[in-house]
Amino acid sequence: MVELFVATGDGLAHLRQEQGSWKASLKLQGHGIQCLTLDPHHPHTLYVGSSGKGVWKSTDGGITWLHLTLPQSDIFSLAVSPADGTVYAGCEPSMLFKSTDGGESWHELVALRSIPSAPTWSFPPRPWTSHVRWIAPNPQDADVLLVGIELGGLMYSEDGGETWLDHRSNAQRDVHALAWHPRIPGRAYEAGGGGTAWSHDGGQSWVRIDEGRDHHYTWGLAVDPDDPDCWYISACPGPRQAHYSSDAQATIYRWHDNGLWEPVLSSLVSFPYALVSAAGQLYAGLGDGTMYTSSDKGDNWQRLEIEGDRVSKVLAMACAVS
């Protein structure tokens, strides 16, 4: 069975596929849900982060929820390490916390705030602050951690976040999404406000790859689990079109071994904030709640027919397969 969990900015949408259609039910309405992550070690456990109300945890696939005690209330990113199960939470202002007991207790990784570039971090819509937009624990090495600051840079740690190297050269400073390849050690990927980059040496150095794209404001990111040279991003002309326009002019692009980005879904009026690859399917979630899926690496797409509760917006998305 395939399930999708969607952060809508207000609550959480839980979608189950039933007889060819999808049934949506809304949870945590009014809680400002911004981000979410599944626990790869416990298939029915997920964490969601909210604007103003901290972190919530479910151990029964989203049926019941426990509010976790975290020192900060505005959560913009969550991750569970595939290597050792450590839970990470990223906040606004830019702070990073970790938990080794499933969220019962939290420890701030205070060194992140001492990075030399930290005084320059600034999020344009709220220039007095910034936030941890993305957390990417290395799936093969629990000590290696990538963190993206919006807007500030891509930071690297090789001791679980106790110390940090400042922004990686050639990576995008306006980090929107990060990913590791689940099977190929050292492969990492970034989508940012100025384009895309990838790393072949475990996130220490980066190469920008933007050839073939008309749009360079990138956001959503998904990686083919079987092919480390095949990955997908969503893009549009700029932040105004993405977040404030009635026509995002957005495109989903695919990078393959031809060395160019190629459009696979174009002329999208609403911006695709979330891309997820799982179980042979690629899913795209848009800012107006529309969702698409492809079973052939983006060559063809179908719009998901969703029944039940209305999904008003997709900010982040996770896929569970059982």
Per residue in 216-257, pLDDT tens?
Answer: 999 999 999 999 999 999 999 999 999 999 999 999 999 987
pLDDT value for 85: 96
Task: Read off the pTM.
Answer: 0.96
Does the pLDDT value for residue 48 go beyond 90? yes
φ, ψ of residue 297 to 5 degrees: the values are: 60, 30
Does residue 93 have a cis bond before it (omega within 30 degrees)? yes
Q: To the nearest whole percent, how much of the chain has pLDDT over 70?
A: 100
Q: In what order do the strands lie in the sheet with 316-321?
A: 306-308, 21-27, 12-18, 2-7, 316-321
Question: What's the mean per-residue pLDDT of the chain?
Answer: 95
Total tally of structural domains belonging to the chain: 1
Range of the domain at 186: 2-321
Does the pLDDT value for residue 321 go beyond 90? no
Report the C-alpha gap between 257 and 197 in whole angstroms.
15
Output the domain CATH number for residue 235. 2.130.10.10
pLDDT value for 322: 75
pLDDT value for 57: 98
Per residue in 278-299, pLDDT tens?
Answer: 888 999 999 999 999 999 999 9
Average pLDDT over residues 192-200: 96
Which CA distances in Å does 100 have to 90, 104, 107, 109, 155?
15, 8, 9, 13, 21
